Chains A and B, each alone.
Chain A
Amino acid sequence: MFGKVLIANRGEIALRIARACREMGIRVVAVHSTEDSDTAVVRYADEAVCVGPAPARRSYLNIPAIVEAALRTGADAVHPGYGFLSEDPDFAEVCANNGITFIGPPPSVLASLGDKIQARSLMSTAGLPLLPGSTGPLDDTEDARAAADGIGFPVIIKAAAGGGGRGMRVVHDPDDFERAYLETRATAQVLFGSSAVFVERYLDRARHVEVQVLCDSHGNAIHLGERDCTVQRRHQKLIEESPAPGLPSELTARIGEAAVRGALAAGYVGAGTFEFLVDYSGCFYFMEVNPRIQVEHPVTEMVTGVDLVREQLRVAAGERLGLRQSEVSRIGAAIECRINAENPALDFVPTPGLLTEVVWPSGPFVRVDTHLSSGSRVSSAYDSLLAKLIVVGADRAQALARMRRALAELHVAGPGVHTTRDFLGQVLEHPSFVRAEHSTVLVDHIVTTGVGNISRR
């Protein structure tokens, strides 16, 4: 096992990884920007190195600075967390070239899964069902339009190099296609440095279901069941739960098996997530692979009892998986709410600032993953995630009741700071969510019909 791990991230995930390391007797190096010099993980870590100024481009995305920090501190391995450099094949390769273990899949696997067009073709070959879509990049408006016509509207245009829910556009009306196509290409070029896009059938009423997989470097692969992440706003997840409510266990078992098959075909190593769309006829379709730990991983941890970050560290150190597929069992139901510093009444605009009062929920079966407390400052330089609130119950009804109770205990205030707490409460009360009959359009529906209620609270 590693003696010292450098965490190339910030915020709640950096602290969560540091805690797993501490439990395993591994020393922790935190890296941070000048903006983050007084943050929880910096105080928690055994050592901290400032790697650059506030803009992520010059600090958390600064490969030479981070690798240099790892070399200087004698770290054996780097955990990239999620976002930032976590899916960057170049970073993984530079780490390897410097004798540092990158905690994640091999660079070649990151490269092939990072290109959504390549990933689609790889999974198609492995026998995973795909939505109808173009098989290669569409570099020409005419070809793209022909492909969309062949697929049938509505379609979704996606950046091949996209991720994190960014760089995609839904087109319902064929007349809007050309403009959306050109805009998505331009956005993709700016965000991801590649204008390659492809087109896929868009499912209007679908559930977003993803499978957590774990693979070691000895050819073993298992899945830890699914998470339902249907509650999204503009492809950003707000609420996640496990198991996926209302889906037949026979169906989720087949989705889980498909994910394992895909992982083995890709030569996957580490923790990863296979994302699928499930329609109301019970068909499921592969969307993409997230080759890293995910924000919503605690939901799976709470029902399986498996510490996913610990497994990542063990697998990266060359150990075998700690359990077989037959030993994976899930108990009860877990739900996670993402508490963001955003104002739902103003189109979820981020509201950074000083947090003068912070009370996190606690009590039975409640977990709060956060790096913030009273007196913390939420920087405008980074994302707006304040905390992840996770509860587990014997069944979904108990978990929902527990989440309502926990949300009511939560109190975050500061000058100009708003949170998504009340909005999440509204989603939890929505009849279609309670009955598990919701789809990916639920949040838009609540936003267009119920924002007045929020601003009055």
Chain B
Amino acid sequence: MTENAGNLAEVLDVLHHSVGRMLSLSPTTPTNLRVTAGDVGVELTWQHGVVAGVNLAADPGDPTNGHSEPVSAEDDARSYVSAPTVGVFYHAPEPGAPPLVQVGQSVDSGQQVGIVEAMKTMIPVIADRVGTVAEVLVPDATSVEYGQRLLAITPLGDD
């Protein structure tokens, strides 16, 4: 996108229409969509076994501590719990203990769903809405960076 501003607006407009058409042709809605403008490129990702909503805002943006991201699709949307800091993500509060949550389990808003350890400090990972854990995206004891998606939640009573 090295042209001038008018051109940019035009590109965005065309992009908007093409993406819309592309998604309407897709058999199931993808979980991720990546668009590259220079030299053109489209990347769609489907996660098997998951009925997922569309998240056009593929970048985690600026999630704050433990806040799930809102998703743009209206039905069946997933939201994500992201890492509150760079560190090591743990499923359980201590070694050998059972994980704080498992797939299929329902969670409350404000419930702790994991831990990120940074500089020997344990920072709780908190769900910010009521829902069901759809997927744990990062294995136990894995390094994560700030804003990285840790868990997918299917919100309940979301309309």
A67 at the interface (CB under 8 A from B): yes
Choose one: A49, A54, A64; the contact of B119 (CB below 8 Å).
A64
Query: A381 to B38, alpha carbons, bound, how many Å?
Result: 26
B45 at the binding interface (Cβ < 8 Å): no
Query: Per-residue CB proximity of B33-46 to A under 8 Å, as 1/0?
Result: 00000100000000
- Taking CB as reference atom, which chain B residue is nearest A48? B145
Chain A residue at minimal CB-CB distance from B123: A64
Q: Are B119 and A68 in contact (CB under 8 A)?
A: yes
User: Is A356's beta carbon under 8 Å from chain B?
Assistant: yes
Identify A356's interface contact among B4, B61, B119, B121, CB under 8 A: B4
CB-based nearest A residue for B83: A50
Cβ of A356: which chain B residues have Cβ within 8 Å of it? 2-5, 8
Interface size in chain B (residues, C-beta < 8 A): 24
B119 and A53: CB pair below 8 A?
no
* Residue contact A374 to B85, C-beta cutoff 8 Å: no
B5: which of A54, A65, A415 is its contact (CB, 8 Å)?
A415
Chain A residues near B60 (CB, 8 Å)? Answer: 34
Which chain A residues (51-67) contact chain B, with CB distance < 8 Å?
51-54, 59, 62, 64-65, 67
In the complex, which residues of chain B have a beta carbon less than 8 angstroms from the beta carbon of A50? 86, 145-148
Instruction: Given A68-B87, A68-B118, A356-B8, verify A34-B2 contact (CB < 8 Å).
Output: no
Q: Cα distance A50–B64 when bound, in Å? A: 14
Q: Which residue of B lies closest to A416 (CB)?
A: B5
| Cα of A64 to Cα of B85 in the assembled complex, Å | 9
The contact string, 1 if C-beta is below 8 Å from chain B, for chain A 27-49, is 00000001001000000000001
Are B143 and A72 closer than 8 Å at their CB atoms? yes
Bound Cα distance from A354 to B119, whole angstroms: 37
B10 at the interface (CB under 8 A from A): no
Q: Verify if B62 is at the interface (C-beta below 8 Å from A).
A: yes
* Cβ contact within 8 Å between A51 and B145: yes
Instruction: Find out whether the CB atom of B4 lies under 8 angstroms from the CB atom of A37.
Output: no
In the assembled complex, A357 has its CB within 8 A of some CB on chain B:
yes
Of listed B59, B64, B145, B147, residue having the most chain A CB within 10 A: B145
Interface size class of A (residues with CB under 8 A): 20 to 34
B62 engages A65 (CB within 8 Å): no
The interface residues of chain B lying within 8 Å CB-to-CB of A72 are: 86-88, 143
B88 surroundings in chain A (CB, below 8 A): 72
Q: Give chain A residues whose Cβ lies under 8 Å from the Cβ of B5.
A: 354, 356, 414-415
Cβ contact within 8 Å between A67 and B146: no
Q: Is A375 interfacial (CB 8 A cutoff)?
A: yes
Q: How far is the CB of A252 from chain B (nearest CB, A)?
A: 45
A255 within 8 A of B: no
Known pairs A51-B145, A72-B143; A375 contacts B62 (CB<8 A): no
Give Cα A137 to B125, complex, Å: 45
A119 at the B interface (CB under 8 A): no
Closest chain-B Cβ to A285's Cβ sits at a distance in Å of: 42
Min CB–CB distance B9 → chain A (angstroms)? 10
**Smallest beta-carbon distance A60→chain B, Å:** 12
CB-CB nearest in chain B for A94: B119
B124 to chain A, nearest CB (A): 15
Query: A274: shortest Cβ distance to chain B, in Å?
Result: 34
Q: How far is the CB of A58 from chain B (nearest CB, A)?
A: 9
What residues of B have a CB within 8 angstroms of the CB of A49 in the complex? 86, 145
Task: Report the Cα distance A53→B147, complex, angstroms.
Answer: 8
Min CB distance B118 to A, Å, is 4
Q: How far is the CA of A374 from the CA of B7 in the complex (A)?
A: 14
Least CB separation from A72: chain B residue: B143
Taken together as a complex, chains A and B put the C-alpha atoms of A374 and B88 apart, in Å, by 37
Q: Which residues of B contact A374 (CB under 8 A)?
A: 2
- A64 with B121: CB separation less than 8 A: yes
Contacts of A37 in B (CB 8 A): 59
A34 & B86 in contact (Cβ 8 Å cutoff) = no
Q: List 23 A-B contacts (CB under 8 A).
A: A34-B61, A34-B146, A34-B147, A37-B59, A50-B145, A50-B147, A53-B146, A64-B85, A65-B87, A65-B118, A65-B146, A67-B119, A68-B87, A68-B118, A72-B88, A98-B119, A354-B5, A354-B8, A356-B2, A356-B4, A356-B5, A356-B8, A357-B4
Interface residues of B (CB under 8 A from A): 1-5, 8, 38, 59-62, 64, 85-88, 118-119, 121, 143, 145-148
Given contacts A51-B86, A68-B87, A94-B119, 7 further A-B contacts (CB under 8 A): A49-B145, A54-B62, A59-B146, A64-B85, A65-B86, A69-B86, A375-B38
In the A-B complex, the 7 residue pairs with the closest CB atoms = A374-B2, A50-B145, A64-B119, A72-B143, A68-B118, A53-B62, A65-B86
